[in-house]
Structure 1
Amino acid sequence: MSEETQTVTLLKTVVNVDDVDPHEVVPGILRRRLPGTEYARGWLIDFAAGTEWPEVDEHLTEERYFVLSGEVIDGGERHGPGSYVVFAPGSAHRPRTETGARMLGISLMAA
């Protein structure tokens, strides 16, 4: 991430998510770790068509995501653009997609 794409003040951090370097989780799934705080962390995940998260994602704390594009299949339900999904502490899931998808998420940190 270049200095030009990140603005930091005492109480605010701003980035263009497409300027954050992606990390390949598995072939076809890219994750961008977005700036966070001691309270929460953000991430952006791009799923290629026909991909599935490599393992069951178990939550010690609350996690939420917003589907920006495509369709995420999670727990047997289909979530399209505009869907906002919240997982309580103790929940688990393994998202997948047939069409491809982009999701923006927030994981809360333990208090």
Structure 2
Amino acid sequence: MGRLDAISVSTVQASLIDEIPAVRIGAGCTRRDLSSDGSVRVWVVDMEPGSTWPYVDDHDTGEHYYVVAGEVIEGRARYGIGTYVRFLPGTSHRPRTDTGVRLFGFNLDPSAMLAAREAASRAHRFNYSQG
């Protein structure tokens, strides 16, 4: 498959995942960062058969991913193709795989999360002029 044809509509962005440069995270583990609006980090992770994420991944704002190919192992649980996995804020994990895996995921940018909390706090403050 070749490059995508340009679309004249300026509101659409399209990318072929495998044409986005991969960042090596550790032995057998790569990540491709996808374009987003900045408040959400969007990515694709590929892990080769027998690999383990090189460190424990902590998530202040949580993390979500969808298993696109292969199988990922989280602790004793195995998640195959078509599984949606969500880690709540304040959790951590260290995925591994026997078969290899491709994950499509996202998590909120911590600074964007803080800004949203501050905005919500301002919106809910008592307005003295309203009595």
| Short-chain TM bin | 0.7 to 0.9
* Structure 1: runs of 5 or more not aligned: none
Partner SS state of residue 36, structure 1? coil
Equivalent-residue separation in structure 2 for 1:93 and 1:9 (angstroms):
38
2:4 and 2:16 in contact (8 A); partners too: no
Write the distance in 2 (CA, Å) between the matches of 1:5 and 1:60. 38
Distance in 1 of aligned mates of 2:104 and 2:6: 18
2:78 match: 78
Larger fraction in helix: 2
Q: Deviations over 1:31-85 (max 9, x none)?
A: 1111122220111111100000011100011210000111100132000000000
Name the one with the larger strand percent.
1
Q: Which residue of 2 aligns with 1:57?
A: 57
In the alignment of these two chains, the number of paired residues is 108
- Kindly indicate whether residue 67 of structure 2 is the aligned counterpart of residue 67 of structure 1: yes
- After TM superposition, the score normalised by the length of structure 1 is 0.87
Cα distance in 2 for residues equivalent to 1:89 and 1:15: 29
Q: TM (normalized to structure 2)?
A: 0.74
> Which has the bigger relative contact order, CA under 8 A and spacing at least 6?
1
When residues 53 and 4 of structure 1 are mapped into structure 2, their CA distance, relative to the original with a 3 A threshold, is: same
SS of the aligned residue for 2:46 comes to: strand
Alpha carbons of structure 1 residues 26 and 6: separation in structure 2 relative to 1, 3 Å: farther
Percent identity over paired residues: 39
CA RMSD of aligned residues (A): 2.0
For the structure 1 residues 5 and 47, does the alpha-carbon distance in structure 2 shift closer, same or farther, using more than 3 Å as the test? farther
List structure 1 runs of 4+ shifted beyond 4 angstroms: 3-8
What is residue 89 of structure 1 aligned with on the other side?
Answer: 89
Return the index of the structure with the highest Cα Rg. 2
**Is 1:99 matched up with 2:99?**
yes
